[in-house]
Amino acid sequence: MELSPSEQLEFDRLKNIVREEHLKRGFQPIDTPLIYRSDVLLAKAGGETEKQIYKIDKGDNDLSLRFDLTVPLARYVVDKQGELSFPFKVSQVAKSYRGERAQFGRYREFYQCDADVVGRGHLDISYDAEVITLIGAIYDRFDLGNFTIRISNRKLLSGFWQALGLGEKSLELTQLVDHVYKMGAEEFEKCLSDLGVSDDQKPLVQRFITPEDTNELTLEGLKTLGVDNAEFASGLDELTTVLDLLKAQNADERVKIDPSIVRGLDYYTGTVFETTLDGREKEVGSVAGGGRYDNLANNYSSETFPGVGVSIGLTRLFSALKHAGVIVASKQTVVDTLILPFGPEQFAFSYWLAEQLRAQGENVDVLTQQMKFAKKMAYADRTGVKNVIVVGESEVETGQVKVKNMQTGEEQAKNVGQN
């Protein structure tokens, strides 16, 4: 995805909001390499990832491009643990690479915006609430309409299957729930049967995965489901705590407890969450997700680094929003004021004036390219600058300039004097 300058400005607006919110909340920015030894990258990954990876052909080393920001973070934490203080709150806004067949909304080169809190040995549950709060803060500022953050806890599902005597099929059943919204009720029931769920148990499964109207009712429903299992109880406990912490921050308005949320099979072990834009759930898909993991670095260290993180796939989001017409590429430039000197005799004054305006915080360009006046105005119009100041002989002499607003056409006289 290569953007035109005006699209790039909108993309950068979103990227800068993410960076600012990370900073404001104490997430330290780090910058990790794109290239790793293939065995390091693939230590955690399955066969599907191996197929998508970009291998590098260089000397004897088996190198590859990273396919996400998780392995780079794991390596960073293990390598720099002596210099870090835990919990380590960390921000990565950077590109990754997957050699997928090019298809709509999937890019081979894509930005991810990850925020993680990593502990050593132990990490308090409160950080689960913190990264969920972060999603809300970012999407509030994105200003892309209402959104919903669906949260659950993986221990609920896992404990639920055990309590039903279906622990052996836990993985498959969880995978099935992950796809429940993509299939009809009949197909779902058939799949449940295939995996050994009895007809008696099916209503319980339905009750379990269907959220109630309020989070309180959903939690109450989970409590009264009659599931007698320690892992389920622990998951319910954590979920309740996270919701309470969100309430304490007035950050629960957009949050909906939804026990069908899974977020992939391998990685997450506790809290999980997924975000969608209201009314654009299918069109755009998940726009921010993440969760709690037991150990970031189990392939690289004997120490335990539990963490919780959230990832926003900014390239996919941007492309989907562009396609949905939410983001419209308009004439737009970084330039606030464009100064148009008549000719080289007015360059010095124009440069001087530009510096004055820059000192006042404006982005200013001076168009010194020689072209006809009409072409200069066309350039100003085409690039979408806000203001234009034409500098001729009399402007230099008197220090009186006219600032022309390119949207309204209004001109405002301004005495700039020259020192």
Report 267-306 residues binding a copy of itself (CB under 8 A). none
Strand order in the sheet with 337-341: 364-366, 337-341, 387-391, 400-405, 411-415
- The yes or no reply on residue 12 touching a copy of itself (CB under 8 A) is yes
Nearer to a copy of itself (CB atom), residue 310 or residue 364:
364
Nearer to a copy of itself (CB atom), residue 212 or residue 365:
365
Residues 99-138 that bind a copy of itself (CB under 8 A): 99, 108-109, 119, 122-124, 126-127, 130
Let me know: does 41 contact 71? Beta carbons within 8 Å.
yes
Residue among 267, 300, 342, 379 that touches a copy of itself (CB under 8 A): 379
- The yes or no reply on residue 33 touching a copy of itself (CB under 8 A) is yes
Residues 351-370 that bind a copy of itself (CB under 8 A): 351-352, 355, 358, 362-370
Instruction: Considering only the stretches 6-14, 166-174, 216-224, 256-264, report the one whose residues sit in contact with a copy of itself under the rule CB under 8 A.
Output: 6-14
- The yes or no reply on residue 13 touching a copy of itself (CB under 8 A) is no
- The yes or no reply on residue 5 touching a copy of itself (CB under 8 A) is yes
Instruction: Considering only the stretches 5-13, 208-216, 263-271, 298-306, report the one whose residues sit in contact with a copy of itself under the rule CB under 8 A.
Output: 5-13
Shortest approach of a copy of itself to residue 391 CB, angstroms?
A: 13
- The yes or no reply on residue 27 touching a copy of itself (CB under 8 A) is yes
Residue among 294, 333, 402, 403 that touches a copy of itself (CB under 8 A): 333
| Residues in binding contact with a copy of itself, number by CB under 8 A | 76
Nearer to a copy of itself (CB atom), residue 9 or residue 233:
9
Let me know: does 82 contact 57? Beta carbons within 8 Å.
no
Residue among 330, 344, 373, 412 that touches a copy of itself (CB under 8 A): 344
Residue among 198, 214, 249, 418 that touches a copy of itself (CB under 8 A): 249
Residue among 44, 66, 89, 404 that touches a copy of itself (CB under 8 A): 89
Nearer to a copy of itself (CB atom), residue 109 or residue 283:
109
